[in-house]
Structure 1
Amino acid sequence: MTNTVSSPAAKPALEGLDGLAREPFSRRGFVMTGLITGFTLATTVVHGQAIKTDSAGLEAGDVMIPTSDGQMPAYRAMPAGAGPFPIVLVIEEIFGVHEYLKDTCRRLAKLGYCAIAPEIYARQGDLTKMTDIQQIVSQVISKKPDAELLSDLDATAKWAATSSKGDAAKLGVTGFCRGGRAVWLYAAHNPSVKASVAWYGPLGGSRTDIQPKTAADVAADIKAPVLGLYGGADTGIPVTDVEKQRDTAKAAGKTVEIVIYPDTPHAFHADYRPSYRKQPAEDGWARMLAWFKTYGVA
């Protein structure tokens, strides 16, 4: 089922997040010793978090993921017990793995999943010390090569299966905003993914040497079913682009479902920000769980 609404054309507010100029950075021996302990300073307007999930009955906390060039920090939550547990990779926005992402992992863990949110921008910069969106985009987001991003997600999935009681045969992925873009890319990259859920992931934008493809570019190449959850009032992602993404994927014989929530802004699942919308967030969460169950993650 697809819900669609018409939306006026708007200049994508997050277009720059889809690829900016390449600049050199150190790629060897990186390590960040800790994750963000609260909300990143970049989220300048923070309301009380609507959902708070405790860790009772869970193994939850910071972990380190071995990658090809160092240790990448991540947050993992999973049920206490022997496992194995279905794996869900939780891909961050542009604000780091802060409390909202950690709580999302715990919510999934309470439902029986091994949920892991990798700190995918650890090499590029410390998001805890950044308060300006343009600084985050130009100094961190634009410098993350997509090849490295996909490799980091591969490393996270491998670690979950070999060192964290995860079930490699039941691999799912979900992500928010920029992480939603990564969901589309990863669904086109890893044939082991059973199901993917992209929350308001940007589809267009510019292309660079290190970020050569947009999410729209890979719509026909996805290897896993993708559920896309979008807001009809998202000024950065036109409804026409979302519908085109769906149509392109379906024309290529791919399994895709798009839900567009009328009068709903970007980041409607982010329950620590004014953009949070309870009904679409809860409906999208239920659809995500059903998607995982239908396609073999649960």
Structure 2
Amino acid sequence: MQEKVVDLKTKDGVMNTYVFHPDRPGPFPVVIFYMDSVGVREELSDMCRRLATVGYYVIMPNMYYRMVRCVDLDANRLWDPACADKLEFMWKLNRHLTNTMVMEDTQVMFDFLANEPAARQGKTGCVGYCMSGRYVYRAMGVFPDRMAAGASVYGARLVTDQPDSAHLVTDKIKGEIYFALAEHDHYAPAEMLEQVSQAIKTTGINGRMEYYPEAEHGFAFPTRRLYHKASTERHWERLFDLFQRNLN
């Protein structure tokens, strides 16, 4: 496995970005891995490595770079009253981001990838968890000629009243998009999911929504107390199939 950290200059600062790809001659299809609200950490790096081992160039940006270079948050303790200050800090980091900001950062990554020998040019995939489900959804519509496959895993705020809401570009999507939904997820209300479902049906895009029985928000993170092994392995199977169909 080849790994490196690169600092990408954006109009708002320097975005520390993590790269993983196989230790053999490339180039490899690119998958952008958008972090969840807890931020970049070893747990996510391990997930990037799992994708990279099957033949992908995986790039994971620290989307909180405008405020911090790294975070130290234990998701299993955030709702402990003793950690109230850390929980509020996480929400502050989360709230400062907009879909527009993340799309600008995505373009910066594309510019970087254009000069990366190990990164195959052309069709790109993306995956995002929790808050980043909406970034996947939005990116698929903002970069329709580049994003060939995307997976939103227990995505939150997929529909908002903001002008850059992800669902507003559903009709622009040309690739295949997949939504993995936890059966129990208060961050994904039924009304929001119905709006996404209707947007998919109305526009006729290649989109699919799948519920994971018994799973809760955060089920795919192996160190999380809500980790659900069967659902996690199913989600990996879906990701591998999705990217195999569209990127290889």
| TM score, norm. by length of structure 1 | 0.73
2:80 is aligned to none
1:49 is aligned to none
How many angstroms apart in 1 are the aligned matches of 2:137 and 2:124? 15
How many angstroms apart in 1 are the aligned matches of 2:2 and 2:156? 33
2:6 partner SS: strand
Structural mapping, 1:1-298, within 5 Å: 58-126=1-69, 128=71, 132-138=86-92, 140-191=93-144, 192-204=146-158, 206-207=160-161, 212-295=163-246, 297-298=247-248
2:148 partner SS: strand
How many angstroms apart in 2 are the aligned matches of 1:236 and 1:93? 13
How many angstroms apart in 2 are the aligned matches of 1:215 and 1:263? 27
Residues 207 and 243 of structure 1: CA distance in aligned 2, closer, same or farther (over 3 Å)? closer
How many angstroms apart in 2 are the aligned matches of 1:127 and 1:205? 28
How many angstroms apart in 2 are the aligned matches of 1:183 and 1:224? 12
Give the structure with the higher percent helix.
2
Q: Which amino acid aligns with 1:76?
A: V
Is this contact kept in 1: 2:178–2:207, CA < 8 A?
yes
Is this contact kept in 2: 1:114–1:160, CA < 8 A?
no
CA offsets, 1:110-159, max 9 Å, x none? 10100010011101235525662222222x22222332210111211332
Alpha-carbon shift at residue 293 of structure 1 (Å): 1.6
How many angstroms apart in 1 are the aligned matches of 2:160 and 2:147? 27
Aligned residue pairs, count: 236
Is this contact kept in 2: 1:127–1:136, CA < 8 A?
no
Give the structure with the higher percent strand.
2
Q: Which amino acid aligns with 1:141?
A: N
Is this contact kept in 2: 1:124–1:144, CA < 8 A?
no
Q: Which structure's relative contact order is higher, taking Cα pairs within 8 Å and 6+ residues apart?
A: 1
Residues 266 and 129 of structure 1: CA distance in aligned 2, closer, same or farther (over 3 Å)? closer
Is this contact kept in 2: 1:232–1:239, CA < 8 A?
no
How many angstroms apart in 2 are the aligned matches of 1:241 and 1:222? 19
1:194 partner SS: strand
Moved more, 155-164 or 257-266: 155-164
Is this contact kept in 2: 1:203–1:242, CA < 8 A?
no
Residues 62 and 161 of structure 1: CA distance in aligned 2, closer, same or farther (over 3 Å)? same
Alpha-carbon shift at residue 271 of structure 1 (Å): 1.0
Alpha-carbon shift at residue 266 of structure 1 (Å): 0.6
| TM score, norm. by length of structure 2 | 0.87
CA offsets, 1:264-284, max 9 Å, x none? 111111111011111111111
Alpha-carbon shift at residue 98 of structure 1 (Å): 0.4
Query: Which stretches in structure 2 are left out of the alignment for 5+ residues?
Result: 74-84
Is this contact kept in 1: 2:158–2:196, CA < 8 A?
no
Alpha-carbon shift at residue 166 of structure 1 (Å): 0.6
Identity of aligned pairs, percent? 26
RMSD: 2.0
How many angstroms apart in 1 are the aligned matches of 2:43 and 2:72? 18
How many angstroms apart in 1 are the aligned matches of 2:59 and 2:48? 7
Is this contact kept in 1: 2:138–2:167, CA < 8 A?
no
